[in-house]
Structures are given as C-alpha cells and as structure tokens.
Amino acid sequence: MRSPDIRSTFLDFFSARDHRVVPSGPLIPDDPTLLLTAAGMNQFKPYMLGERVPEHRRATSVQKCARTSDIDNVGRTTRHTTFFEMLGNFSFGDYFKQEAIGWAWELLTGHFGLDPDRLWVTVYSDDDEAERMWRRLGVPGERVQRLGMADNYWSMGVPGPCGPSSELHYDRGPSFGREGGPAVDGERYQEIWNLVFMQNLRGEGPSKEGYPIVGELPARNIDTGLGLDRLAAILQDVDTLCETDLVAPTFRLAQELAGRAYPGRDGSEESVSFRVVTDHARSVAFLIADGVLPGKDGRGYVLRRLMRRAIRHARTLGIDEPALPALTASVIDNLGPAWPELERRRELVRQVVAAEEEAFDRTLRQGSRLLDGAIERARRSGSGLSGRTAFELHDTYGFPIDLTVDAARSAGLTVDEDAFGELLERQQRQAKEAERDRKGGAVARQDAYRRIVARHGLTDFVGYDRTRADVRVLALLDGSGVVEVAAEGQEIELVLDRSPFYAEAGGQVGDTGHVTTAAGTLVILDTRPGLDGLHVHRARVQHGEVRTGAEAEAVVDAERRAATARSHSATHVLHAMLRRVLGEHAVQRGSRVEPGRLRFDFTHFGAVGPGELAGVQTLVNDYLLDDPGVRVWDASRDEAEAAGAIALFGEKYGDHVRIVDIGDASRELCGGTHVGHGSQAGPMHVIGESSIGVGLRRIEALTGADALRHHDRQQALLTELASLLNVPPEQAPDRLRRRLSALAETERELDRLRQAERTATAERLAGRAERVNGAWLVTELIDGMSPEELRPLATELAQRPGPGAVVLGTTATGRATLVGAFTHDLARDGLQARDLLTDAARAVGGGAGGKGAIAQAGGRRPERLPEALAMAATTARTLLRDHP
C-alpha cells in the first residue's frame, strides 16, 4: 500500500467514526514552550488543558513533525527519522481507552491487513485496565509487556498534558534482532502506534521520566500517533524508512550522486551516510517551507545542524558537488502533491540550501582535512580524539563539534567531549574578561568625551553647506587620555568647537581633510562620533605641533566629499527602484557609502537576476538623468512617518529628524550629505550582486567618475577581445559564441575518439581473456588510466557475449582503484560484483562498494595493487567455477 492510500485509509476510517479531519499544523508551533512541532497533539494542547472548547470533540489529522532528540540514531537504526508524518486520532473529553484500543486493533489488522500474530503490545507498568482490553481482543498474555515511565508514560517533554500510554509493535522478524518482544529489542519489535491516555498534568523535570505529576486534566483525552513512515515500511516490505515511497526517489538520487549503490542494511558507515542524507534532506525541505531559516540558535540552529550533517555525510559518500539543492528538489517533486506548501516554497528552499551548502563547504574543506589528519594520528596512537583537537577545529576553523564527533565515531574513535566543554567554557570566560577590559578602556574614553561635552558642549556641525570653517581646538587625546600638546608625527584624536567634517553615520564614511593652526598642520584621517553630537577627528600631526585652545582653519577634502554625496544620493534612488522592481519587501538592511562607490544590503529571498538587475540600473540612471530636485527638510518623527518617510533598519532617530526627498521617488530619514540635484549623482553602474546571508542580498555599485572609468575599462576589454577575434566590437559576442560552439563540437569529437579507443582497448583485453568453467575472465592492471575511465571500460567489457567477469585496476593520485563486473546473465543469477573485490580492497587498504553487476574499490596502498588484482582474479575463478 502506497503512502497516499495509507493516509486516506486512516483519515476515512476515523472520519466514518465521527472524527473531524483537521489540517496539519505548521512545524513552527504556536506555543512558546516548544521549539518545533514534534507530535500530532501539539495543536490540540489548549483543548486538553481546558483552555479552549473544541468545536468538535473528536478529531483526526496527518501532522508534520520534526524531532531531533534521537538524531544520533538516524541512519543507525531502521526506524529513527528527524521528520515524520504522524497519523492521529484525538478525543477531547469524549471516548477513552476502550474505543482507542479497539479501533487501533481493527484498523491495523482489518484495513491495513497486518498479521495479528506479529503484533505486540506494551502498557504502562500499573495499567491493568489496558492489558485486560488487549487480552479481550485476542492478544495473548505473552505478547503484552509492561514498561515504565520512560517508555509508556507520554508527555511533550515540557510541563503540560501527559498520561500513561499503550504502544503497538510489529515483529519484523529475526533478521532485525533478538527475540523477546519490545522490552528486549525495539529494532526488531518496531513501535508503530502509540495510544496515549491523556489524563494528567506534569511539572518541570526531565523529559522522559522522573518528572512530577502535579494534577489531573479537566477531562480525560485520547491522543494517538501512528507513524506513517514505519507503517509504510512494513506494508511495502522494505528494510528501512528510506526505501518507502515517501523518500525512495531521494534515496535513489543520493546513490546516483554518489556513483554507487546503497550497500544494504549491513551496519556500515556507508549505509548510515546514505540514510542520513536522505532523511535530513526531507527534514530540511519541510522546515524551510514552513518558515525556518538557518541561524545560530533555536530553530535556525536545528535547521543548520541538519543541513551540515547532511552535507558532511554526502561528502563522506564522495558527493563533492552541491547535493542539497537536488536532494530537496527530489523531496518536493515526490511529496509536493501531498504537501502543497513544498511546491509553493520550492524556489526559497533551493536558494536557502544552495547558499548554506556553499558557505559550509568552505568550512568543511579546511576542517575535514585537519580532522582526517587528526583521526589518522589518533588511530596510530591507539587513542581517541582529544578535546583540544576538537576545540581547535571548532574555534579556529568553525568546524562544528557534532560533526567532529560523527566523523570520529565513523572511524571507531571517541572524542573527549568533557575536555572540549572545559576549553569552550574557559574561552568564553576569557572572552568575557577581555570584553570587560575592552569596555573598561572604552568607558574611560567615553568619560573623557563626557567631560569635554560638560565643559564645552557638543560639536556645532556646519558641514551640510560648506567644506571649510574657522575653528578652535577644544581637546587633544592620545592613548593615555587628554593632553595639552601633540608633536609632529603623533596620531591623536581632535575635538573642535565647530566642524565641517561629517562624522561617520548612516552608512556614510567620515570626512577627511586637514586642520591648520599657526604652529602646525594636522591631516584628518577619519571622523567619527564620540558621543551623539560630539565629532571626534582621528588625525596625525603632519608638521609642527598643535596645542589645545589654538585657532585653526578646517578644510574638508571637497572632491572626496562630493564623490561620497553622489554615492549617498544614488543609494537612496537605488533603494526606491529596487522596491519598485522586486517589491516592498526589498528594504534596506545596511549600507556603506564611500567616494565613488556604494554597498547596499537588502532583504530578498533569491538572487536578483541579470535582467532585473539591468532593469534596476536603467531605472536609477534614467531617473537621475531627469534631474529630480533634492529637498532636505526637518520635522518631528510623527510628521515624518505621516509623510511616508522611510526609517532605515538599525538606525537611531530622535524626536526631530532630517528628511531627504529625491524627486517623488525617494523619501528617507537621513543625516548624511547629498547632491543638490539628481543629475549630479549619476551615472551609477552595478558591479555585483550577491548573497550575504539567508534572505539578505548585497548590491555593489560605482558612481560618478568611478562609474565612467569602469565603463572605459570595460570598453577597452571589449575592444581588445574584438581585436583578438578580428571583428568589430559589435560582432565580438556572436563570433565568440561560434568559436565556443566549434570548441564544444571538437570536445564531442574527442569524446567519440575516446569511445573508439575504449572499444579498441576492450577488444584487446578480451583477446587475452582466460577461460574458466565455460566463462571468460579478464584481469588487467592498466597503467595511465584514470579511475573515471576504468568503470566505463569494465562496463563495455561486461557487455561482451557469453558469461564472464572483469577485474581492472589502476593507480592515480596516490591511490589504488579497482573495478569489478559480471556480465548481466551472471548478475541475474545472483553473483555480486562486490564479492570480486572484498579481499582485494582490504589488500589496498580500503573497502568495496556497489551492488549487482558492477562494483568499485579503492585504497591508499597503490603498491599492493598487483597483489590485490591477483587476489581478485583468484576470487573470480572460484566464483565462476562454483557457478552452475
């Protein structure tokens, strides 16, 4: 029975018994005590607590659930998963144990056709009533087991509804584990349906057992959960959840991407990795579709951890290219019809996973090399990984501790997590102390600024309408504090009574220039706010000396200021046009306004395509060329908001604000400097657009003369390219396309030649085949052939007539590679190509992978490849002789 039929059978069964079908709640629950929706009853919690009265006292649902409490078991058992669909039926003060138990038995044994003799039941240790009910249905006493609070008393893990439960388990047979029922082996006797008799209220305490029962609920309720994945695995007769129709397409895709088959339920790390990648891809797709985005804590951290574990295991399988975009797309293709939100958020899922995988790959590449080396050293020394090694990977290279533990476990090693925790705690303590010291120095400097303000008042900024002013030196500060004099070559902070220098704010860089007194000259390197309203100029005494109280002339670098103003005005117009093209959600989340250059960060879940970006650039430049007026005016904050002025993210504003209008397109609260007319800001040329985080994009652009110089350089490059192609510039793109097309055709011809050469090689090798029991055998060490070429050659040989076997080997990049294959008739008879290579793989220090007609092995002992080939040949002869 396929999963859509299982869902409909369940819902129809309970709908016919007066249950209202309720849609699944989101994975982000409307409950501050819960991180994610982990059970079908989460959305019904208010009914069970008596906080709300349900419209209908019976309900049934298929609930999306995400749970990572057992994440370490995922892939290592056949039944654990981080995302699952929970089929549930609920009673809010209506029916209780007898109906819940009777209907569960009827549905499983009647409608789903499970063998009653393979069903086992567990009940809470003192629940005599539940056991009697199961016995009356025909469950023999030896298949009813009593378990304690950890297994058969259910709650959400936090204060709230709870109660004893009774679970139905299915015996999957001796190949899955030991006899003895669920109390002995949960892998063999797999829990499929949990019936919770929700009647109590729990308090604070451990999640599984030992928490206090603080009272009774207003009414007795029923909450059941039947795992769709687990039931599907049984009904579809597959070993693991990954092989059900719920995720089988994604599971197969993982194998295609890895270039090898799943080895089966053999307990190998390879099999674990295949299952982890498949499971986590589904969880990731659903979490993003429900609004979770990767982050450093909370739900975002859960998602990021799942993505990083999936990527890590994909790389372990040899999938070196981005995997999550394709895997999550497969999830959406398969489950989108059942869960339409997946299809609606397809593009968002793709963008988020692609960005996260690209970022994490950088961490993985560096961290994995170091971790592999540490694991190899630990193996040689016979010890586990030290806490210091794990900490260095985490602290220096950003390598997550859970991935270090995963990788170590895969290598049969442990990690000293206690020592890691101590080092992390010590670092955090030292960081806090350093922060206190830093803040102590900053506080001392702030105190000095306050004393200056108390004595002299705030800076009178006169730079909006001039770049030169007569000023007086109020204070000089060096590293030790306030000083009276600064000598030639000394860097200091300078405070003036009035200043034409703009202090960095709102993304606009501070002004530079110079200050001249009768006794010396200072170069102004930067201007920043010391306190709100106090401008502090970082300066170097160029010659002479400067004293407190000296009269001076302050002159701003006017050309730099003008270039900065052009960038700032262009930024405002860019913001307006982005919102016009992309939508109102594209709001500013940061900026950097510099002379001739701007950087603009904004919210948008996806790359701005080349067409959209060109359209935005054209809109900006056309608008600036229309020469809109630039109007600056002051108003109260309320008046500004009423007038539609945009307040920018992260900026602080007072009760009275400065507003900048650029024509009728842009109205923003802004304290920066601007051009007088729009045409003075252009042109603007976009040079880049990129992602800087989930849901955040960045545009970088040049303005004014810098934009023109960039255009000139681009024109020069086009001219040079046209010259190399010997065509006019306007014909260069077409000529280059034709050249590239010809190159592609040449490469295709080269592929045809390679195929012909491979066929010739296959013919030559076939001519040297030995005969074994009426079959042929080719065993060959081929020098100079890459591992990528070896497999196609083996495949071609295996397609030759008659029963036969192939074992080929080569060395490359310091590794030995072997490929083994049987002809399809032998593979159909049950011979496994992997068996050809098992011993040979060990000889070269590696392992063999593959299923059916072809397999591959590799190892780091290329010098033993001849010996390994001889072993494989011996194995092949034995298999061919023993084959009837």
* Residue numbering of the annotated binding site for Zn(2+): 568, 572, 670, 674
Burial (0-12, 13-18, 19+ Cβ within 10 Å), 183: middle
Alpha carbon distance 221, 655 (integer Å)? 55
Q: Which two tokens stand for residue 809?
A: 């080997």
| CA angle in degrees (0–180, nearest 5) for 66-53-88 | 35
CB contact burial 68-78 (16+ within 10 A = b; e otherwise): beebeebbbbb
Alpha carbon distance 257, 730 (integer Å)? 42
Alpha carbon distance 495, 552 (integer Å)? 12
Pairing of strands 854-859, 847-850: antiparallel
- The strand pairing partners of 86, in sequence order, are 63, 227
Alpha carbon distance 155, 164 (integer Å)? 9
Alpha carbon distance 504, 672 (integer Å)? 9
3-state secondary structure of 642: helix
Alpha carbon distance 155, 210 (integer Å)? 12
- CB atoms under 10 Å from CB of 610, counted, come to 9
3-state secondary structure of 391: helix
- What stretch of H or E contains 580? helix 558-582
3-state secondary structure of 237: coil
The distance of Cα 717 from the centroid of its chain, to the nearest Å, equals 38
3-state secondary structure of 254: helix
Pairing of strands 666-669, 656-662: antiparallel
Burial (0-12, 13-18, 19+ Cβ within 10 Å), 307: buried
**Strands annotated E in 678-754:** 684-693, 696-703
Backbone angles phi, psi at 262, to 5 degrees: -60, 130
Q: How far is CA 152 from CA 95, 355, 364, 467, 726, in A?
A: 20, 42, 41, 78, 81
DSSP state of 678: G
Is the distance from CB of 508 to CB of 673 less than 8 angstroms? Answer: yes
Q: Where do we find the tokens 């206090």?
A: 212
- Position 780, amino acid: E
Q: Report helix angle 298-316 to 346-381, nearest 10.
A: 60
Alpha carbon distance 152, 166 (integer Å)? 6
Alpha carbon distance 782, 700 (integer Å)? 52
Q: Where do we find the tokens 């989101």?
A: 26
Is the distance from CB of 817 to CB of 762 less than 8 angstroms? Answer: no
Reference 417, options 441, 393, 449; nearest CA is 393
Alpha carbon distance 274, 452 (integer Å)? 66
Q: Report helix angle 732-766 to 704-725, nearest 10.
A: 60
Q: Where do we find the tokens 């869960």?
A: 339
The end-to-end CA distance of the chain, in Å, is: 38
Reference 471, options 537, 558, 544; nearest CA is 537
Q: Which two tokens stand for residue 460?
A: 């009178």
Q: DSSP labels for 544-567?
A: EEEETT-EEEEEE-HHHHHHHHHH
Binding site residues, as ranges?
568, 572, 670, 674
Alpha carbon distance 330, 252 (integer Å)? 10
Is the distance from CB of 237 to CB of 248 less than 8 angstroms? Answer: no
